[in-house]
Amino acid sequence: MEERHDLIGAFRPAILGIRVGTSAISLALSAPAFVDGDWWVVGWCLVIVGYNIFRLFKPLRDLDDTASIVRMIAEVTIHVVAVNVTGYWGSPLVFALITAVMMAGFGRGFAGSFGARSLGG
């Protein structure tokens, strides 16, 4: 059985570095919520940071198949929901969106980062 090539494998160090950076920024920007007891923001921050820690040990792979697209869409969805429920563009988690968009761009090119390739474009 032929092993498929990971489209974002070559960019893994950059992706992991950005993931760590966006987690640190999310924690730093959420610090007031921790102090003020805004448990909604604290909870979502912990979800995002926990997810990013999980992905440090089990990075996403893009094997140019439907399952890879579904995993990337799921990652984007988690982050979009977290940002939307914690303040939209004023959310302390807004920088967490960078990683998912960056992975799509690295793996599938400019059009893929907007979903065109995944939609058959």
- Residue 28's pLDDT is 96
- Residue 4's pLDDT is 75
- Residue 51's pLDDT is 95
Sign of the CA dihedral running 92, 77, 110, 53: positive
pLDDT in tens, 22-62: 999 999 999 999 999 999 999 999 999 999 999 999 998 88
Report phi then psi at 40, rounded to 5.
-65, -50
Contact by Cβ (8 Å): 79, 100: yes
Instruction: Quickly state the pLDDT bin for 109 (edges 50, 70, 90).
Output: low
Sequence letter at residue 51:
Y
- Residue 84's pLDDT is 95
pLDDT in tens, 76-88: 899 999 999 999 9
Rounded (10°) CA dihedral 65, 66, 67, 73: 120
Contact by Cβ (8 Å): 56, 19: yes
Rounded Cα distance, 111 and 119, in Å: 10
Q: For the chain, what percent of residues have pLDDT higher than 70?
A: 85
- 14: three-class secondary structure by DSSP: helix
